[in-house]
Amino acid sequence: MNKQPLLEVIHLQKSYSASAGLFSGAALMARAVDDVSFLLEEGITLGLVGESGCGKTTVARLILNLEEPDSGTVTFRGRNIYELRGVARKNFRKQVQIIFQDPYSSLNPRKKIGTIIGEPLRIHNIVPRKDIEDRVIELMELVGLQREHFNRYPHEFSSGQRQRVGIARALSLGPQVIIADEPVSALDVSIQAQIINLLQDLQKQMDLTYLFISHDLRIVRYISHRIIVMYLGKIVESALSEELFNHPLHPYTEALLSAAPTTDPVYHKKRIILSGDLPSPLNPPRGCIFSSRCPIMKPAICLLNNPPFEEKSAEHWAACYLR
């Protein structure tokens, strides 16, 4: 697993103002992503886990340069993606693609499937016009759609098939990195497995690197080599997949793991139930960001500063004073 980093996220920070009215004074700033750094190594799947609203999707959009961060950078093959212009920027778009969560909102309802999948090819002009249709059909067959689907509209498809269309579109430019933003959370469980297997097959075939964003730990565990856990815009723990599941360090990770259902009927682990909701990012708790819900919180230590994100054991990082 010692491959060179393809994509490097360095101290990424992004805030949104909560009140930007014409006559309002100082706007409240919500920190959606707060000092997030990680490496994405070539050929692996990196899982990004957290509750809704913890900033996962914002991280995805920042990496795709759909939004600009307030500070921090993302480098792709050593180059800052926010400084790319012209051809270099177009090339970056070819290399990094996204699969969305909601297969209903991610396909233009007024365009045919063939047009949707072929659009990136037309924008980048990488395939001669007359060959676009053949290439699109090739992609459709690759993701398990039939060539008869070419001239149909998105509303004629089930959510699983729509997600396949989204995958084909993401693959059309021959990317190296695919950011999958909760690609299966909107699907039925039976379809989830099909899509996950498809993603894994494609990874092997095309040597893809995935950033797999999800709140479902079972899926993340199944697909990821390394897992990052986010809470309230910050990374709280990062470890190799099995290590994280066997020896979670951060109390938040423990709580998440205890909430995931197991398939073993005999094994009953202690369920850790977190009290309260995710705090508002407008008004984060003082000290450790997890202190307001932490079952093992010690006021004398935890309420003073936010703990540093440090390597607790080999390749296993966490942000907690007590572990």
Single out the residue of 223, 232, 226 nearest to residue 244, CA to CA: 226
Minimum Å distance from CB 249 to another protein?
A: 35
Nearer to another protein, 209 or 306 (CB): 209
DSSP 157: S
Q: CA-CA distance, 75 to 3, in Å (whole number)?
A: 16
Single out the residue of 254, 259, 271, 273 nearest to residue 322, CA to CA: 254
The radius of gyration computed from the CA coordinates of the chain, to the nearest angstrom, equals 21
Contact 34, 91 (CB under 8 A): no
Minimum Å distance from CB 105 to another protein?
A: 4
Token code pair at residue 1: 């697993």
Query: What does the binding site for another protein look like in residue numbers (CB under 8 A)?
Result: 61, 64, 66, 89-90, 93-94, 96-98, 100-102, 105-110, 119-120, 123-124, 153, 155, 166, 169, 172-173
Minimum Å distance from CB 108 to another protein?
A: 4
Q: CA-CA distance, 306 to 232, in Å (whole number)?
A: 12
SS (H, E, C) 38-105: EEEECCCEEEEECCCCCCHHHHHHHHCCCCCCCEEEEEECCEEHHHCCHHHHHHHHHHEEEECCCCCC
Order of all β-strands in the sheet with 209-214: 96-99, 177-181, 209-214, 45-49, 226-231, 234-240, 316-318, 310-313
Nearer to another protein, 89 or 147 (CB): 89
Minimum Å distance from CB 83 to another protein?
A: 17
Minimum Å distance from CB 110 to another protein?
A: 5
Nearer to another protein, 168 or 289 (CB): 168
Minimum Å distance from CB 30 to another protein?
A: 17
- Phi and psi torsions of 288, nearest 5°: -65, 135
Minimum Å distance from CB 86 to another protein?
A: 11
Nearer to another protein, 123 or 296 (CB): 123
Nearer to another protein, 94 or 316 (CB): 94
Minimum Å distance from CB 109 to another protein?
A: 7
Contact 137, 147 (CB under 8 A): yes
Nearer to another protein, 31 or 169 (CB): 169
Q: Name the H helices within 217-317.
A: 217-223, 241-246, 251-259, 299-302
Nearer to another protein, 100 or 290 (CB): 100
